[in-house]
Structure 1
Amino acid sequence: MALAVPCQDLRKISLTGSMHCISFMQEKEKEPPPPIRSYLCLTIFTCFCPAYPINIVALIFSIMSRNSYDLGDYDGSRRLGRNALYVGISSIIIGLLIIAIFIAVNFIHMDF
């Protein structure tokens, strides 16, 4: 009769909530994880742009990317990081457009 070896390390692998048992030997045999690309600095910078709902979404995508990386979902982390990059860049562009329109409207209505 074989004895069951208790699971030593429970980790959440995916965002669906399924739990998988990974032994310490399996973790040592794995190759090192790819570097994280969550673009957190860019999304924090976009929080200073005047396009507030959009840059908050970029920040949330970046944080979700870091959480997925910590859970071992590297493909999901890469996908969410790419979404954070795209939404962050669009937030910067929209913010610059808002600033340009604001400056143009103020200079048109100035009395000399």
Structure 2
Amino acid sequence: MALAVLNPQVKSSLSGSAFFDRGSIEEQGTPPPLRSYLCLTIFTCFCPAYPVNIVALIFTIMSRNSYYQGDYEGSRRLGRNALYVAIASIIIGLVIIATTCIVHFTTMDF
């Protein structure tokens, strides 16, 4: 008897459709994949270009924070910056290592 008293608006609110808009979640889709290059920036921390390594790591952390806050475009931009700085760090590190080896082996007395 009590079910006959309920009108359709109450039924829809009890099912949750009036409070929770399911259409907006389905329209959003899945978020893009996270591209923060964390493994690469951790690897660059072993290169001898220390200030540049730290900058790449900070860009990676900022990219991950932006992604988890829902700013996917900002996350992608910061991740790309982290990639470029990490590559620059690797190149600078290789140049430092090569220069050190050249100077060391050319100044040795046999």
Q: What TM-score range do you get, normalising by the shorter chain?
A: 0.7 to 0.9
Aligned identity (percent) is 73
Structure 1 Cα separation of the partners of residues 107 and 57 of structure 2: 36
Corresponding residue pairs, total: 90
Q: 1:83 aligns to what?
A: 81
Give the SS at the match of 1:89.
Answer: helix
Structure 2 Cα separation of the partners of residues 42 and 85 of structure 1: 8
Q: 1:45 aligns to what?
A: 43
Name the TM-score, length of structure 2 as normaliser. 0.78
Structure 2 Cα separation of the partners of residues 25 and 59 of structure 1: 38
Q: 1:9 aligns to what?
A: none
Over aligned residues, Cα RMSD in angstroms?
Answer: 1.5
Give the deviation of 1:24 after TM superposition.
5.2
Between structures 1 and 2, the one with greater helix share: 2
Q: Output the amino acid matched with 1:75.
A: E
Counterparts of residues 9-20 of structure 1 (less than 5 Å): none
Q: 1:25 aligns to what?
A: 21
Structure 2 Cα separation of the partners of residues 25 and 43 of structure 1: 40
Name the TM-score, length of structure 1 as normaliser. 0.76
Give the deviation of 1:108 after TM superposition.
1.1
Between structures 1 and 2, the one with greater strand share: 1
Give the SS at the match of 2:21.
Answer: helix
The runs of at least 4 consecutive aligned structure 1 residues that moved more than 4 Å come to none
Counterparts of residues 28-107 of structure 1 (less than 5 Å): 28-29=25-26, 30-107=28-105
- Structure with higher Rg: it is 2
